[in-house]
Structure 1
Amino acid sequence: MTNPSQPVRLSIAEAYQLSYEVLLSNGMNARHAAAVAKSVVAGQHDECHSHGMYRLLLCVKSMRSGRVSGEAVPEVRDVAPGLVRVDARSGFSQVAFDEGAPALLRKARECGVAALSINNCYHFSALWQEVEALAEQGVAAIAMTPSHANVAPAGGTKPLFGTNPFAFAWPRRAKHPFVFDFATSVAARGEIELAARKDQQLPDGWAVDCNGNPTNDPQAALGGAMLPFGEHKGSALSAMIELLAGPLLGDLMSFESLQVDNGNEIAPLHGELVIAFAPDTFAGGSADGNYERAELLLDHIVGQGARLPSQRRFAARIRSFKEGMLLDGALYNEIICALRV
């Protein structure tokens, strides 16, 4: 244990080992614990704190509920030339993605485009990790998933949508991929939860309370509803994600996931849609010329003084591997307490 007011510095290896041991001691087998630990440490070393080691607390609560399987063996089904489905069998999504990704890549290279449907999975992680991993294999990729209903549609005041993240990655030669990942709500749910933990006020326009009134109080926001970004635009994108990663996949939408949760407040149960595009196949051979043209666009963005999405993340990653990561002292103590001996 440590002074809760003082941050704790951990190396990447130390953070991973702690996360792995916490998950293992709470009912995950080695394979699931390794995949989930890798995910939360990735969020932490990229300074995406709402999806970093803070998420261990949700994972532990979810495991202790008895609903999430820490030993699930995903079932992979080759459905069609451009489609693979993976039943996560009530496990977290990471191992299911790992199982389905090789078939997705093979099908994308054969057909130009292919989809991966992950069903019956509990989900908590940032989607950039999955699309970035695919882009590093030379394909462009998008991913989307619903969540628990905690976002009101534009013009509404009651939770209906999830934060419904959408992620995209474009492969680049000898450079980090071009990656973005954003919630279709104004902010990620985890940002509001972290603000509540630290007793910090929210910016204007993030949320409404249970009566539909604008609020800066994170506790009132958690009991009310978050708002979509860009009003009707974010709301429409959120509805699209509900449909494509819900009924299209034969899986739950956000309000249905919340009903299944039934007040347990664990990770949401639903599906995830991942689509991969093979540039070389689209080009009918080598896409070298197309990659060069894509780089012109990205160079023009940076040339105006703007930054590319994820540049801050990649810089944080380099810094974390050199210097280690700072973890909130109070959070570190909670994680230590989550270890089951």
Structure 2
Amino acid sequence: MSPTPADTVRISLDEVHALCRDTLLGVGLAEPHALAIARSITRAQADECHSHGLYRLLGYVASVRSGKAARDVLPVLSRTTPVILRVDARRTFAPLAIEIGVPALVEAAKTYGIAALAIHDCYHFSALWADIEPAVDAGLAAWCFTIGQSCVAPAGGTRPLLGTNPIAFGWPGPKQAPFIFDFATSAAARGEIELKRRAGEPIPQGWAVGPDGAPTTDPAQALAGALLPFGGHKGSALSMMVELIAGPLIGDLTSRQAAAVENGDSGPPLGGELFIAIDPAVFGPATLDQRLAEADAVFAAARQQPGVRLPSERRYAARARSREGALVSAALLAELRTLSEPG
């Protein structure tokens, strides 16, 4: 077993799941939602995605207690056309809506070659790679987009307008593990900055500006000011794209509109999520096996270059390590164990 840093503890993934489930049930969330969130958090913690792992339990509990998120309403799946699917989350948390919608998305894409799924009126707090991984594991190329908390300034600006607006893409791998990336269009996810604040650590230059519009390395000032898009105008344009296709395109909120209905409980924002899935088997003239082999050759050529690490490889290595237990901040774990207490 690998060593455990002094400020962390190692707990089994079963313990991670049980802590999430029992905490959420303890504050009154219905079991279907509690179990779906527990599965989502456990996947992120197993992959050492700490900004979307156990840390997120704090926000989920806050939104249950504040009454922002419905506790026992169930999402409803419907079809606009055979390939356009919709899940009305009915102001509940996203994980259960995703678990209901993604299998239907996979079935439609496998049947017709392409399909899209919109999740409406949900409180999204999970990692997008976990949202699309089931579709990619089913042999589909998949994309996912969602808005985030309105905390990002457009390129050249200093005031929040956009969300962190992540993008995820996955490509199936017949021989290797699937190629999946998931990143915020801001220089860093808001959760990463929150974790830096909790740890008393500075953030790198270029991540954010403070309330006065000046660059800052203080995470508290960054959260009070505005995060910045990655890559300047390029990241800003991608963030605008996500605003449009996860907001007006599917008939849901933009980040600014979501901020206007927030109650300040530190939980997830209200909004929508768009999935697109394509079955590579529908395209020719080469066979599917040939095309997947060509993609594998691209990945292999990249790995031959010293210093190259493909997206998701770090997570897969972390997932393997986590079979012996997940590393969790000792201070965070102590805090989480008090969450279901009356208060």
TM-score normalised to structure 2 length: 0.95
1:179 deviates by 0.4
Q: Which residue of 2 aligns with 1:269?
A: 270
User: Structure 1: any 5+ residue segments left out of the alignment?
Assistant: none
Q: Which residue of 1 aligns with 2:319?
A: 317
Give the letter for the 2:320 counterpart: I
Q: Which residue of 2 aligns with 1:23?
A: 24
CA contact (8 A) 2:102 2:134 kept: no
Question: Matches of residues 244-259 of structure 1 in structure 2 within 5 Å?
Answer: 244-259=245-260
Q: Which residue of 2 aligns with 1:289?
A: 290
1:26 deviates by 1.4
Q: Which residue of 1 aligns with 2:3?
A: none
Q: Which residue of 2 aligns with 1:60?
A: 61
1:55-100 Cα distance to aligned partner (Å, 9 max, x none): 0000000111112123221111111122001100111111111111
1:39-63 Cα distance to aligned partner (Å, 9 max, x none): 1111111111111100000000011
Report SS of the residue matched to 1:169: strand
Distance (Å, rounded) in 2 between the aligned partners of 1:337 and 1:110: 47
Report SS of the residue matched to 2:139: coil
Q: Which residue of 2 aligns with 1:165?
A: 166
Q: Which residue of 1 aligns with 2:184?
A: 183
1:175-219 Cα distance to aligned partner (Å, 9 max, x none): 310000000000000111011111111101000001110000011
Alignment partner of 1:133 is 2:96: no
Give the letter for the 2:311 counterpart: P
Q: Which residue of 2 aligns with 1:42?
A: 43
1:89-117 Cα distance to aligned partner (Å, 9 max, x none): 11111111111112211221222211000
CA contact (8 A) 1:207 1:224 kept: yes
**CA RMSD across the alignment:** 1.4
Distance (Å, rounded) in 1 between the aligned partners of 2:40 and 2:104: 21
CA contact (8 A) 2:68 2:263 kept: no
Distance (Å, rounded) in 2 between the aligned partners of 1:205 and 1:267: 25
Identity %: 49
Distance (Å, rounded) in 2 between the aligned partners of 1:330 and 1:138: 40
1:285 deviates by 9.4
CA contact (8 A) 1:110 1:281 kept: no
Question: Matches of residues 100-179 of structure 1 in structure 2 within 5 Å?
Answer: 100-179=101-180
Distance (Å, rounded) in 2 between the aligned partners of 1:189 and 1:44: 17
Alignment partner of 1:33 is 2:34: yes
1:339 deviates by 1.9
Distance (Å, rounded) in 2 between the aligned partners of 1:25 and 1:340: 8
Q: Which residue of 2 aligns with 1:70?
A: 71
CA contact (8 A) 1:51 1:190 kept: yes
1:265 deviates by 3.1
Distance (Å, rounded) in 2 between the aligned partners of 1:21 and 1:169: 32
CA contact (8 A) 1:161 1:238 kept: yes
Give the letter for the 1:190 counterpart: G
1:114-155 Cα distance to aligned partner (Å, 9 max, x none): 100000000111100011121101111000000111000000
- Single out whichever of 266-275 and 286-295 deviates more from structure 2: 286-295
